[in-house]
Amino acid sequence: MLEEFKTFLLRGNILDLSIGVIIGSALTAVVKALSVGLIMPLVNLFMFKIDLSALTYTFGKVSFKFGLVLQALISFIITGFVLFMIVKAVNKFFRKQAPEEAVVQNVELETLQEIRDLLKNK
């Protein structure tokens, strides 16, 4: 049973997923710092120095902190944009390699077609 558990944990998908979660956590910390330290002050500059995290709506004895939600949404949009730029850069890098691979496949296809034609002639 211990050996099965070890095999399960060391499978590629589990390791890739755990690395992704760790990197995602680190990226979240960076994006949160970017959002709180740079983006929100810029937003507040154009909104007459209103601190979004302090925006609340009080209904009776209950206080709704919708400013925190707005700040989280802005952080989410920034995170999405950063991930979009990373994926776009990676895709651009791998697109350059794709045509070479297509040429190799075309050569292989032509070779296989020649072999087929030779076999038909015999």
How many Å apart are CA 86 and CA 88, to the nearest integer? Answer: 5
pLDDT surpasses 60 at 18: yes
47 lies in which domain range? 2-117
Residue 122 lies inside a defined structural domain of this protein: no
CA distance linking residue 83 with residue 85, whole number of Å: 5
CATH code for position 46: 1.10.1200
Whether 25 contacts 56, CB under 8 Å: no
Tens of pLDDT along 38-61? 777 776 677 666 667 778 888 888
Over 60: is that where the pLDDT of 31 sits?
yes
- Count the domains in the chain: 1
Q: Is residue 63 part of a domain?
A: yes
| E strand or H helix that includes residue 53 | none
pLDDT tens-digit series, residues 59-114: 888 888 888 888 778 777 877 787 788 888 888 887 765 555 555 567 788 888 88
Band of the pLDDT at 1, cuts 50, 70, 90? confident
Output the pLDDT for position 17: 81
Say if 57 falls within a structural domain. Answer: yes
**Domain-located, residue 58:** yes
